[in-house]
Amino acid sequence: MKLVKLFFTGAMMSCSLLTSAQQARLELVTDQVQSPVCMAVPGDGSHRQFIVQKEGRVWIIRNGKLQSEPFIDVSADMVKVNPSYDERGLLGMAFHPKFKQNGKFYLYFSAPVEKPGKGRNHKSVIAEYRVAKSSGNTADPATKRVVLEFDQPESNHNGGDIVFGPDGMLYIASGDGGGGGDKHGATGNGQDLTNLLGKILRINVDGSPYSVPRDNPFLKSPGAKGEIWAYGLRNPWRISFDKANGRLFAGDVGQNKFEEVDIVTKGGNYGWRIMEGFHEFNVPDGADKSKLIDPIHEYDHSDGISITGGYVYRGKALPALAGRYIFGDYNGKTWTLAQQGGKWTRHDLVFTNKPSGNLQLLSWGQDEAGEIYMLVTIAGASNKGGVYKLVK
């Protein structure tokens, strides 16, 4: 994710009002994981949390304790990444909806290409693995099956999140391929339906290597990639489904001025690079903006630098946050969004025991009970990472 952006202008006053703060505490789960960029849960009743480390390893937290050995290490298949600033790496993880029966899970990571060069920096890979038969707490790397891969022209704007929807399909967040202003192609990758960059993709992983669902919106459009579910995104850094109603939320990292939150719908065009948030960015002659979908919220860079999308709270520990979308920024600021009729209202989310130091918010997690976790690094502390649970 490009580390640049955040919130809100007078033009936004009518649709995103800043009101009183919400409060919670942070309960430390572990401070032993460096660069934790994703948390996944298997949904098998084990109440384990799987923490994805950008450098290539996945760790298990069970009963509040970090397992001594990694669940899986795929660093040998990846490009080498710098934990301090690299946007590549092991970026996403999702468990098959029938994981309890088949032991399958999926990883999204950055892999080298044979002949890197202009327009070809690395490739994004979504691969399937299975747990080792002897232990549900380790995976078998030999079971690797590449599901989908596509080239990335730059090292940044990889997106990288993967989540299964209520429909059992795998949704993949893909950035625009990097470079300022979505510079690749005549219209930019975000508006180009002939490639997979700057999109939300939707596939059926039970195919070989996958299949495109028949109800995907562009499956029958000439020249378009059938995998595309929605488009016009710059760098969707964390997507999530609301457990209560299935709405798909995305935090989309902006260019130089605005960060945004979107609710992603089938076939939707979210505007990039024509728009950045609610604002014109690069409007081609004769462009029809009437069908572009506005975000539900934006903020400018007086508030932050790069959005970190989160989750709608559906847990029980913090009833005051019920139904609110929890999100934040790389700079450590955190908020909630509450829907009131057709308007979304932003509230500060204040932690009464926030850890000292320059906290950098990398990601959020949600456990089987709907409780929320915050994944961070502390700058200047040898990139020390931390996983915290939001509690009352």
Report all structural domains of the chain as residue ranges with CATH numbers, in order of start: 10-20+38-355 (2.120.10.30)
Position 381 confidence tier, pLDDT thresholds 50, 70, 90? low
pLDDT of amino acid 355 = 86
Rounded to an integer, what distance in angstroms lies between the CA atom of residue 198 and that of residue 264? 13
**Mean pLDDT within 29-44:** 95
pLDDT of amino acid 153 = 97
Choosing from 96, 122, 157, 184, the catalytic residue is 157
pLDDT of amino acid 385 = 82
Rounded to an integer, what distance in angstroms lies between the CA atom of residue 17 and that of residue 260? 14
Task: From 324, 391, 387, select the one nearest 36 (Cα to Cα).
Answer: 387
- Say if residue 135's pLDDT is above 80: no
Position 314 confidence tier, pLDDT thresholds 50, 70, 90? very high
- Say if residue 12's pLDDT is above 70: no
Task: From 297, 292, 369, 368, select the one nearest 329 (Cα to Cα).
Answer: 297
Rounded to an integer, what distance in angstroms lies between the CA atom of residue 151 and that of residue 244? 35
**Mean pLDDT within 123-145:** 93
pLDDT of amino acid 342 = 87
Rounded to two decimals, what is the model's pTM?
Answer: 0.94
Q: Are 331 and 357 in contact (CB under 8 A)?
A: no
Q: Are 154 and 108 in contact (CB under 8 A)?
A: no
The DSSP bridge pattern shows strands 384-391 and 372-379 to be antiparallel
Position 6 confidence tier, pLDDT thresholds 50, 70, 90? very low
Q: How many CB atoms sit inside 10 A of residue 75's CB?
A: 17
Q: Tens digit of pLDDT for each residue in 89-105? A: 999 999 999 999 999 99
**Mean pLDDT within 238-243:** 98
Q: Tens digit of pLDDT for each residue in 268-281? A: 999 999 999 999 99
Question: Is 347 an annotated catalytic residue?
Answer: no
Q: Tens digit of pLDDT for each residue in 21-30? A: 899 999 999 9
Rounded to an integer, what distance in angstroms lies between the CA atom of residue 297 and that of residue 248? 14
Rounded to an integer, what distance in angstroms lies between the CA atom of residue 344 and that of residue 19? 11
- Say if residue 358's pLDDT is above 60: yes
Mean pLDDT of the chain: 93
**Mean pLDDT within 250-263:** 98
pLDDT of amino acid 9 = 35
Rounded to an integer, what distance in angstroms lies between the CA atom of residue 332 and that of residue 330? 5
> What torsion, rounded to 10 degrees, do the Cα atoms 284, 189, 83, 326 define?
70
Rounded to an integer, what distance in angstroms lies between the CA atom of residue 327 and that of residue 324? 10
For residue 366, give both structure tokens: 């949600």
Buried b (16+ CB within 10 A) or exposed e, 284-317: eeeeeeeebbebbbbbbbebbbbbbbbbbbbbeb
Position 117 confidence tier, pLDDT thresholds 50, 70, 90? confident
**Mean pLDDT within 327-354:** 96
